[in-house]
Structure 1
Amino acid sequence: MVRRHIAKDGCCGRCSMDSETVNHILFTCPYARLIWAVSPVQAPPNGVMSDSLYANLYRVMNLKHHRPDLKIHDDLVPWLLWRIWKNRNEFLFKGIDDSAPSTVAKAKEDMEAWLGRKEEDHIVAQTPPLSNARVKWKAPPPQWIKCNTDGAWRKEHQQSGVGWISRDSTGKLLWAGVKDFQRVGPPIEAEAEGIKWAMQSMRSLGYNQVLYETDSQVLARMTA
């Protein structure tokens, strides 16, 4: 944030204790540590998260294979990561402070909805879904990547935050990103900026077969 002239000291907007890096947001911030603590994902042996983002990601993504006795579902970790990022945007730009137990519960709901969708892929719907029904994540075709984007806007500070997360057709987490920038304009611009940055990022990573999905109904209708 400080590199984009949004924050003066570069400290975390939630705890104000450390620089707001991606690793801090996801793992070392006290709020993130609390979420991991109340989740089924066991803390490191010494109880301290690594200063390396890649070390932390490797541990949580492979914990079930190293500790099969923990009964951790393979698909839960990506949804926990996504919820932590969304919570960060909600807190910073909307003032919404979701509790750790609620965050874990929502991540489990996301996972169960996605698993339910996988089981229903072979069923042909007889009637269109209700407009207010919960939207389920649908896996992309084999050999394709799906990239979900999210944007938030804080009017009083003219700040925006965007995030994206990419998964393959099995739901495996591949890459993710989050950043802040100054933006004067309606919230739809933050959502559009999120998709634009996600596209640029995926291209730079060498992915060409990518489906992009936004939670903004307005933007989805505009690009349909």
Structure 2
Amino acid sequence: MEASTFNQERRQAIPWILWTIWKNRNSLLYAETQESPSLLVQRTQEEAALWNKLNKAESNGGQVQADMGMPKYWFPPTQGMIKCNLHASWRSDKQFIGVAWITRNHRGDVCMHARDALVPTSDKLAAEMECLLWVLRSLRDLRIEDASIGTESQKLIDAIKTPARWPRYRCLLRQIETVCLEFTVIEFEVESRESNKVVRKISTSVLRDGQLRSYLALGGPAWLHDLIQTEVIGEL
């Protein structure tokens, strides 16, 4: 990666080349198919060049400014929308992921909440994507058509808006895009830790207390009643 004798584009493409070799190996072993090595290298270099080009435009100052603009308290959706806050509690690639969501209307009244344990993932962002998929499918099955999704993960929202920058998660992002098309209105909001406390506490209880059985319930959990009441911006 640091060898100056090779041009920068080739050095930057090394992670993509390694990932492509791994995928090609699996295709050969399990599907008995193999693409031309020259085509694989060309495609890999194109993806790496695109990713580096798009991310080069981002500045650290812009990210800090965005973080400073996060809401300190939970904010209700517009009338007619349902806001769904979610959180994925990820520890390692060998442990289950604790996930939870909670929905509220424009008055801040809790509609439903759910909790579950998902299979391990390679990293935190993948866990957040799996959690979002679970949430979107749950809302769809409950026939909620207009939803605002609140998450603490700026990376998750960036990946949804610009999937070309995140080729490693292409499969998950395509699934998310497909489910989003089933909603009449779907929005995404960045939450701070302070404005996402309720659902964070529910998701962390999955691994902390060994609550691996999934459930869906009306209203909010009784043990978080006081926090739910104080989290609504209109009551602070």
Q: Smaller-chain TM-score range?
A: 0.3 to 0.5
Bigger Cα Rg: 2
TM-score by structure 1 length? 0.39
Higher relative contact order (CA 8 A, sep 6+): 2
Q: Would you tell me which structure has more helix in proportion to its own residues? A: 2
